[in-house]
Structure 1
């Protein structure tokens, strides 16, 4: 977002400049900040391509470099800090980048005067645990005209530009505090995990609707020594909204099998149970993921990364349990091992993970 503020200043200063030395500029902080805010200016970076602000002509038509002598960043920080009284625990730390501060003036013969322009461009960023997040830009210009024999002292105009920059940012952050995701203070998780109706191309997990061999539609692989194969998996989908400065994150969990990638050679009830238990394991992995989601740290800065980690941890755990299940039952051929897994899986489906966790610990 950008804002362009145009102002016309006609300031006549009677003081003269007789030598072509640099003019050192300075920003003046406020003495008594009176406005309390829930943010704090923490850092200012001078990102300009040149250190000079511009050049000013004196009465003898000599030019003088305008400069902050390398102190623009610290003076800007002091000025902006002086504008507010941060709360004891500010929610947001702000970085300001000075992209451009440029002054130019030209002689107008018909007016026997100089016409000048000062331009300022700032970027405001939110400081977090990772790279600073861009919030908003401010860009403004100030025009002036002065007689040739009355050099303009430019400090007040630059001071006003920087003050306008703060005012613009302050108005912006207050207007955005309740609806901008970057400014949210916390995240509220809403987990959506209903029993879904299956479709022709997708069978969703339903405890009241066990798999049937009609769900295995792929032609059996002649190269495989297995009697049956099921493709089951889990996924999460989400969308977020902002309510009163809080991120409401909807997380939709899906547990499903794909008929077009699942097949059987010799259909029987024993083999059906083995494949159903594969599907149950996928449901268990989703349930364990859901428990972690409910207890996760909801710091807005870290939320997306933690959500991603929890999902991939669950996905890897699902695959690990599936492989262990097939390894120990020898893909269902070991009936004694199969019965042990039947009990373990049934317990885990009720939320009792003691046997499963004990087994996973042993094979670590």
Structure 2
């Protein structure tokens, strides 16, 4: 056989070398979208479920900006290339968060707001590629009534190093960062549900009467300790009245959350301000003191009615404080109305028959509310 190839035609080894050179000179193709996998997690939420995922990233062009494979071995990679998640960044992230955890409509619905999810890469002097993942999420509770309530935010991320020709670390590192955010949410919710007042399921009010006798200018209502003329320390004022007492009522307390219930420990204060109460000269009679004591008793009755309006059924977790304030204001108005009615129908204690009717009415009401042990002057 005659070899008709030119003398300079390469042999088999030369062809292989030429092929490798040509392949090395061909630029790398575009990077494929990242496939964000959803794998079973060892997280089983008992306090929340993912109801909605909102993508609020300022730039939704892509999730990652990755360095491409260099055209030649040892060469520096080109500029970062935008690489999104398969199916689109928004859809892929929503799918991941919704499918990573089991859904339970009976649990508290949580909205995830994605404020940042970005992968960026830079080349290092040693020829490696360094990747950084920045993740910022906000978690809101979609309450049955009212706008969503911001509960907590998460800021996290990760770093990785890879070879210029290997992008396989990008997706697992991103997935781990997203999983860490879900672990944070689960841990935060488990702790907050028991102690955070915003997540309480109900309100349980408990009232206690303030019976202190240590306040120099304040006498707190005690059925066993009625008014004495020595409690009227104010300067007498000119006019038609023999004496004036200055009663009022208030409440104070500090909520605490225990096992998801707002334990509202309230102290009810029914009091007389001594320095604002006075008696005229020669007016320190038993009938006058009884009339003033009944003013004090009326305030106690109104306070007891206020106590019974503030029930677990009437108070909500979101508005228990404002509901209490409104009930208090209504009771305060009722107190002033009753005091005026009492003075009008007894003629400020000068009508014996009217006074007796009110004495009997007040005593009956005190017994009905369980206020016993009073020893009033007659």
TM-score bin, normalised by smaller chain: 0.7 to 0.9
Q: Is contact 1:25–1:68 with CA below 8 Å preserved after alignment?
A: yes
Task: Provide the secondary structure at the position in 2 that maps to 1:111.
Answer: coil
Given the alignment, which residue of 239, 248, 254 partners 2:269? 254
Aligned to 1:272: 289
Residue in 1 that maps onto 2:225: 209
Contact 1:17 1:151 in 2 (8 A): no
Displacement of 1:182 in angstroms is 3.5
The 3 A distance-change label for structure 1 pair 232 and 67 is: farther
**Unmatched 5+ residue regions in structure 1?**
1-15, 353-364
Contact 2:37 2:175 in 1 (8 A): yes
Q: Which position in structure 2 is the counterpart of 1:10?
A: none
SS of residue matched to 1:161 = helix
Once the two structures are superposed, the pairs formed by residues 83-162 of structure 1 within 5 Å of their partners are: 83-87=100-104, 89-90=106-107, 92-108=108-124, 110-128=125-143, 129-150=145-166, 154-162=170-178
Q: Is the 1:201–1:259 Cα contact (8 Å) retained in structure 2?
A: yes
Q: Which has the higher contact order (CA 8 A, sep 6+)?
A: 1
Q: Is the 8 A contact 1:37 1:86 kept in 2?
A: no
Structure 1, 300-309 or 258-267: larger mean CA deviation? 300-309
Classify the secondary structure of the residue corresponding to 1:217: coil
Distance apart, 1:17 and its partner CA: 5.9
Superposed displacement of residue 94, structure 1: 1.6
Deviation at 1:348, TM superposition (A): 1.9
- Kindly indicate whether the alpha-carbon contact (under 8 Å) linking 1:220 and 1:263 is maintained by their aligned counterparts in 2: yes
Q: Which whole-Å CA distance do the structure 1 matches of 2:88 and 2:362 have between them?
A: 68
| SS of structure 1 residue aligned to 2:310 | helix
1:272, CA displacement in angstroms? 2.1
Q: CA 1:301–1:27 in 2, change beyond 3 Å: closer, same or farther?
A: farther
Deviation, structure 1 residue 252 = 1.4
SS in 2 for 1:350: helix
**Cα distance change on mapping 1:29 and 1:321 into 2, 3 Å:** farther
**Residues 86, 92 of structure 2: 8 Å contact kept:** no
Give the match for residue 68 of structure 2: 58
Query: 1:106/1:67 Cα in 2 relative to 1: closer, same or farther (>3 Å)?
Result: same
Paired with 1:71 and 1:332, the residues of 2 have a C-alpha distance of 83
Structure 2 segments unaligned to the other structure (5+ residues): 1-26, 72-77, 370-378
Residues 31-77 of structure 1: per-residue CA shift (max 9 Å, x gap): 89984634212233334443344533324624433456996566544
Question: In 2, Cα distance between the equivalents of 1:212 and 1:193?
Answer: 20
2:308 corresponds to which residue?
A: 291
Q: Is the 8 A contact 1:210 1:276 kept in 2?
A: yes
In the alignment, which residue of structure 2 is the partner of 1:190?
206
CA contact (8 A) 1:285 1:318 kept: yes
Identify if the C-alpha distance between structure 1 residues 123 and 34 changes in structure 2 by more than 3 Å, giving closer, same or farther.
closer
Give the C-alpha shift of residue 28 in structure 1: 4.4
Choose 159-168 or 147-156, whichever is displaced more. Answer: 147-156
SS, match of residue 102 in structure 2: strand
Aligned to 2:320: 303
RMSD between aligned residues: 3.5
Shift of 1:164: 1.5
Correspondent of 1:236 among 251, 257, 260: 251
| Corresponding residue of 1:44 | 53
Aligned partners of 2:47 and 2:193 also within 8 Å: no
Change (3 A) 1:144 1:333: same
TM-score by length of 2: 0.73
Number of equivalences: 333
Tell me what 2:360 maps to: 343
| Larger radius of gyration between Structure 1 and Structure 2 | 2
Instruction: Provide the rounded CA distance (Å) in 2 between the counterparts of 1:118 and 1:253.
Output: 55
8 Å Cα contact 2:220-2:269 kept in structure 1: yes
Q: Does structure 2 conserve the Cα–Cα contact (< 8 Å) formed by 1:38 and 1:87?
A: no
